[in-house]
Amino acid sequence: MAEIMKMSILRYRPETDEKPVWQSYDVPYNHETSILDALGYIKDELDPTLSYRWSCRMAICGSCGMMVNGQPKLGCKAFLRDYAGGELKLEALANFPIERDLVVDMSDFIAKLESIKPYIITQEPRSLDDGCTTQTPKQMEQYKQFSMCINCGLCYAACPQYGLDNKFTGPAALALIHRYNNDTRDQGKAERMKFINEEAGVWGCTFVGNCSVVCPKGVDPAAAIQLGKVESAKDYVIQMFKPGE
């Protein structure tokens, strides 16, 4: 027999609502019901006007990020059983403008991800005849975990610095810089250092550390940013000995 969970969702319909309002639904659930499943139930059985984003249902597309009882979570990776006996409060991802209901406007985040040159840059073009680029396990370990990011935006919702001032480049984009700068196949570090060095770069981080706690893929953006501070400080000293540049 299914249990019933009271789910409150912060609704926002731009054509009628001046500001977001809470609306409650009673949702049956069992051991396997994820929050995304529960939203599907509401959409199909109770209220077809509810809007939310989703795609893969398996924590790889990064679409269904939302605030679950105040914590950034992926709807597909959080389960009603873990909130049994209480109430569930769902809200659009914090620190982003609400587009509609649980859908946020992520364009600022996407623009930041694109701006930091998140691709391998080589000085000399390589052809297929050059063969594979080999890496040792140690070389791969330098960047591998940072390449696991799925761009879900949970770390931005967890970052008060981004919430207070969205000029801050933010955890995922800074971790992505670290990911490419530490890949032995890449030669674009000099081009990316300016994104690290600027005020909105690594120095905008005060090491709250919540980004690494909420990441659903085990990425540690806080570590990437602190290591970025070390790189930025070294870069600053090196620049002092390069007059005229």
Residues that bind other proteins (CB under 8 A): 12, 14-15, 19-20, 70-71, 94-95, 97-99, 105, 136-138, 141-142, 160, 163-164, 206-210, 212-213, 220, 222-223, 226-227, 229-230
Sign of CA dihedral 103, 105, 109, 115: positive
CB-wise, 80 or 94, nearer to other proteins?
94
Closer of 60 and 208 to other proteins (Cβ) = 208
Tell me the C-alpha distance between 75 and 66, whole Å.
Answer: 7
Length of the chain: 245
Residue 92: CB minimum distance to other proteins, A: 8
Cβ-based nearer residue to other proteins, 121 or 223: 223
* DSSP code for 241: T
| Least distance between other proteins and beta carbon 228 (Å) | 10
CB 171 to other proteins: min, Å: 12
- 171-181 and 189-197 helices cross at what angle (nearest 10)? 150
CB burial of residue 32 (10 Å; 0-12, 13-18, 19+): exposed
Q: Strand, coil or helix: what is 15?
A: coil
Minimum distance from residue 3 beta carbon to other proteins (Å): 27
Q: Is 235 helix (H, G, I), strand (E, B) or coil?
A: helix
106 contact partners, CB below 8 Å, separation of at least 6: 96, 153
Nearer to other proteins, 2 or 164 (CB): 164
**Closest approach of other proteins to the CB of residue 220, in Å:** 7
Of 80 and 227, nearer to other proteins (C-beta) is 227
Residue 33 CB, nearest approach to other proteins (Å) = 26
Q: Which one, of 101, 107, 95, lies nearest residue 14 by Cα?
A: 101
Q: Which is nearer to other proteins, 7 or 98 (CB)?
A: 98
Cβ 40 vs Cβ 27: under 8 Å: no
d(CA 123, CA 126): 9
